[in-house]
Amino acid sequence: MKKWFALIAIFLSSYVVFLVASMPLALVINNIHLPKNIKVTGAFGSVWQGEIAQVTVNNNQIQQVKTQLSFWSLLTLSPQVQVSFGDAMAAGLEGKFILTVTTEQLQLNDVELYVAANDIAKQLSLPIPVTAQGHVELTFTELKLNIAGKLTCEQAQGQVTWLRAGVVALDTNIKLGNIKADFDCEQGDLIAKIEPKNNLGLSFNARLSLANQKASGQGHIKPGANFPQELKSVLSLLGHADNQGRYPLRF
């Protein structure tokens, strides 16, 4: 008798999972209350395997979002979704990641994100017109966020790199080389530490409080032999150098 109950329970559980996975993706999205700054256009397929033509976040467009839900993850009550978006042959954001959701945690694995540096520069409020060169590559082997209570960072292993970095400002083309930062978690905050081995002699630690949605950072620039000559005239805008020749940075 127990055997029959077990078989019936497995059958019903599998049937429920099938119903959820085969539900139209558009139906699910239409019943989700999205923030005002997020707009979804053109959802096709099912929760199992779907595609969204375009997602707009703060007027930034993400094209060709594709999702695939793992069947076995539903049986363990830890839904896992593979997500990819963008096109290497088209402008805009491109990337992929694996998202696993539990009652207490969001886990991101194999995160790869690529974006033109100038797409980021356009979002910044800068004192003079600047065109950024190169591409920004963001990778996370693993990122774990605690969602039980306040949102906090539990574990992070990743890196962001500005490849072939450069800017064009006041008709001057300034080459910066490659700039890298490593990610970590500290007291629930996400930390990014810029490696000092760059043409700017830039060393900087940035902190993002996920719970309060506030960012802060501090560091310095220590001009060396590879420091761009075009920027030396503006160093005085950062304040006075200390006794080690470092100009302070903070926000």
Model confidence at 99, pLDDT cuts 50, 70, 90, reads very high
- DSSP SS3 for 174: strand
> How large is the greatest C-alpha to C-alpha distance in the chain, in angstroms?
85
Q: Which domain holds residue 56?
A: 1-95
Tokens of 43: 């959802």
d(CA 155, CA 152): 9
Q: Is residue 59 domain-shared with residue 152, that is, in the same domain?
A: no
198 and 77 housed in the same domain: no
Same domain? 36 vs 115: no
Pair (224, 118) in one structural domain:
yes
- The answer to whether residues 25 and 112 belong to one domain is no
More confident residue, 75 or 67: 67
Domain end among 50, 67, 95: 95
pLDDT band at 70 (very low <50, low <70, confident <90, very high): confident
Region 246-250: what's the mean pLDDT?
85
pLDDT at 5: 44
Per-residue pLDDT of 14-38, as tens digits, reads: 545 555 555 677 776 777 777 777 8
Considering the domain architecture, whether residues 124 and 214 belong to the same structural domain is answered as: yes
Angle of CA points 135, 165, 84, to nearest 5°? 15
% of the chain beyond a pLDDT of 70: 89
Where residue 4 falls among pLDDT bands split at 50, 70, 90?
Answer: very low
Number of domain units in the chain = 2
